[in-house]
Amino acid sequence: MKEAMELAEKARGRTSPNPLVGAVIVKEGKVIGAGYHKKHGDHHAEVNAFNAQRESSHGATLYVTLEPCFHYGKTPPCVDRVIKEEVGRVVIGLKDPNPLVAGKSIEKLQKHGIEVTVGVLEEELKEQNRIFLKYIKTQRPYTVIKTAMSLDGKIATASGESQWITGKGAREYVHTLRDQMSGIMVGVGTVMEDNPSLTTRLKEKEGKDPHRIVVDTRGRIPLTANILHLKSKGKTIIASTELMKRDKKKALEDLGATVLMNPIKNERVDLRHLFEKLGEAHIDSLLVEGGATINFSLIEEGLVDRIMSFIAPKIIGGESAKTPIGGRGILRMEEVISLQNIKYRHFGEDLMIQGDINSGT
């Protein structure tokens, strides 16, 4: 199962909105076939494993990280191929929560006399497929807020300068995160202040540009913004409201941007409505690289799943210097948000603290 899990990881960021899945076929103590789901619309892991097998899998054991699919999608049901290959046993890491599957394949395998074991490396596989599990249950994107700050909690100097707080290693890792996610979200303030491109730049391989989502209640984004003039497979999406002028909307669309209109909530874009729309567009994951306002708004709406905070051993100071989380804040210590499943990682002199937050889902 560990080998199957390692295979599945190779496709991170390429199978969206499908899960990461790996499969290994073992017969008489040796691996006779292995495969993984390489990209959305391609053969599933089980099929790739069977297609690669060096001998008949009759009586063999199939190890697969997720319950084989039961339904027709872009490919036929994998469970039928498993039965056809006459394996003797199937070991499944995770039961598929997709209502179209949800135990049906397990039941079908058992009805055909195939022994089934479920729950091997289950917790590790839940972490590996955290994006899929959130999306399939809620139809909203799995959301990570990324912040970079000084030791005293500042994301910029009092004059607004923010490049670069963290070092090269941390910045390169952020591009790895972009490569793995479906979308990257910022507020319009970040676009106006920093004019970012929000693309993926990797050394070792060509990166996948995520869709770029700008939350812009009143349509303030400049028509000269870099993200409106990119040659990229990732779309630029402007999330706005009726407060955006019609001629601005048309101008943005003429530049190739998609404008998503949303209801207004507390004088801003209704973020829950926006997340539903993003889910409908099969955007299953978001990396938020915005400022203090949007970070707090997302947390306040219960839309955040994970926080990644990069901390540089630097002191900036300044009462007016910005911090990662703004908004009205939390008034009572007993109500503060405590992260769970804390992990630490060093990038040169910088420290990354990662934790999960109760998203209310």
Q: What is the pLDDT of residues 14-72, one digit of tens each?
A: 999 999 999 999 999 999 999 999 998 889 999 999 999 999 999 999 999 999 988 66
Angle, in degrees to the nearest 10, between helices 45-52 and 2-9: 110
* Tokens matching residue 166: 């963290």
pLDDT digits (tens, 9 = 90+) for 245-287: 999 999 999 999 999 999 999 999 999 999 999 999 999 999 9
pLDDT of the residue at 74? 65
Q: Is 46 a catalytic residue?
A: yes
Q: Dihedrals φ, ψ of 36, to 5°?
A: -150, 160
What does the longest C-alpha to C-alpha distance in the chain come to? 70
pTM, 2 dp: 0.91
Q: Where are the beta strands (DSSP E) in the chain?
A: 22-27, 30-36, 61-66, 89-94, 115-118, 142-150, 183-187, 211-215, 236-240, 258-261, 264-265, 268-269, 285-288, 306-312, 340-347, 350-356
Angle at 307 between CA 180 and CA 287, to 5 degrees: 35
Distances (CA, A) of 113 to 57, 58, 68, 95, 116: 15, 13, 16, 19, 9
Q: What is the mean pLDDT of residues 302-309?
A: 96
pLDDT of the residue at 360? 44
Catalytic option among 46, 67, 85, 289: 46
**More confident position, 47 or 335:** 47
* Tokens matching residue 306: 């994970």
The alpha carbon of residue 85 and the mean position of all alpha carbons in its chain are separated, in whole angstroms, by: 34
d(C-alpha 20, C-alpha 85), whole Å: 22
Mean pLDDT estimate for the chain: 93
CB 91 within 8 A of CB 51: no
For 258-316, give the DSSP string. EEEE--EETTEE-HHHHHHHHHHTT--EEEE---HHHHHHHHHTT---EEEEEEES---
pLDDT digits (tens, 9 = 90+) for 57-114: 999 999 999 999 886 666 678 899 999 999 999 999 999 888 777 888 999 999 999 9
CB 182 within 8 A of CB 281: no
> Which one, of 361, 344, 357, lies nearest residue 296 by Cα?
357
pLDDT at 243 over 90: yes
Lowest mean pLDDT among 95-99, 144-148, 290-294: 95-99
